[in-house]
Amino acid sequence: MKGLKRYKDHEGEIAFVKNKGLPRTVQNAIYQEGLKALKQRMGRHHQPERTILLVGGAGYIGTVLTAHLLRCGYRVRCLDLLLYQNQVCVLPFLSNDHYEFIYGDLADASIHDAVLSGVTDVVLLAGLVGDPITKKYPEASEVINDTGLLQLIKNLQGRGLNKVIFVSTCSNYGLIKTNELADENFALSPLSLYAKAKVRVEKEILSQKGRVDYHGTVLRFATAFGLSPRMRFDLTVNEFAREIFLKHDLLVYDADTWRPYCHVQDFCTLIERVLVFPTGLVSFEVFNCGGAVNNFTKQMIVDKVREFLPDARVSYKEHGTDPRNYKVDFKKVRERLFFEPRYTVADGISEIIKAMQQNLFVDIEKNREFFGNYSIEYKMNSVGCLQNSGGQEVVS
């Protein structure tokens, strides 16, 4: 992250983000939090550096987050079963001494001890991500998104962890009135297997307050967009930009439905901010993750793409299979964590078009499964969890 500044004292090296947007009192509190975390690590793990376990670190958000955390000086351990044949995504990191990749299934409890050994913090990105893929594979969804994650969370206790961050979704709000804004206390009304599982895991983590030795945080992510080593073109902003660039006929369902959006790089900034902020501000808290600037309807996204590509061929249809409609209030994350998105929807569209112009995505149709959460091959293994021949991707 830009502006990373290192402070040294007799106990080791402390790293924290020096951000002009943070008040001096907050910067000082982050520094003190870093000292406290260092003492905890040295007492429990005898290591000066934080080791972050990314459960799902080879996915769309996970690969971008890996690069971000390595730049910030953390050690990163990635657990991923590479469900979408995304092995290539971890290759750039293997030469980094601060990176470790473990091929494995989060639902296999027999590997939890080894995976968690020496870890100081955990980010739970993993799962079958999205409404279509969970609807298509309900059995796999139950094993991975429900029982697997819940068992892993159960096994986090007693390991001297500092922060445990669960990446959830704003889809939990379901269908709300257009003139309402959903804050973190708004009633949850999940419509899909995907969102229902997220709600169950949220409740389990929050129920652990006062019962576990780590600090849990729930982050309800907006819909992601932007470039990633494991690029996805089944996400709205990315899909619309690509389809219109290629002069394909784009059919848009329910154009006036609202969703919040957020760039993958901004998600990385926010996760790192939770890691370094004082526990009193993040411990067992829920945050909507995004910014009001990126509350968009599908029609607004089309209109924004047309500012770059005016000859778009777009048609519209009502009553699609996905009725979600929600605008989200991001006041808490703005005021508590001083977070505002750096990237707008227009920025995301621009970078995708530039990448397309540079011929960076020429093999999408030949390798469709890599570029979206469309299908998996997954079967039962001997330990009672699901396993696929190529692995389980864990994308945020």
357 domain-assigned: no
CA dist 382 and 4 (Å) reads 46
Structure tokens at 143: 């094993």
Contact 231, 371 (CB under 8 A): yes
197 domain-assigned: yes
Range of the domain at 107: 49-228+262-293+328-344+374-387
CA dist 208 and 296 (Å) reads 35
Question: Looking at the chain, how many residues does it have?
Answer: 396
194 domain-assigned: yes
Question: In this predicted model, what pLDDT tens digit does every residue of 163-176 receive, in sequence order?
Answer: 999 999 999 999 88
Lowest-confidence region among 70-74, 173-177, 231-235: 173-177
Amino acid at 254: D
315 domain-assigned: no
305 domain-assigned: no
Residue 148, pLDDT above cutoff 80: yes
190 domain-assigned: yes
Contact 16, 73 (CB under 8 A): no
119 domain-assigned: yes
Number of domains in the chain: 1
* pLDDT at site 381: 53
Choose between 134 and 22: higher pLDDT.
134
* pLDDT at site 44: 75
Residue 149, pLDDT above cutoff 70: yes
103 domain-assigned: yes
In the sheet that holds 121-124, the strands lie side by side as 99-103, 75-80, 51-55, 121-124, 163-169, 215-221, 285-289
Lowest-confidence region among 123-137, 232-246, 311-325, 365-379: 365-379
3-class secondary-structure state, position 222: coil
CATH number of the domain encompassing residue 170: 3.40.50.720
CA dist 201 and 218 (Å) reads 10
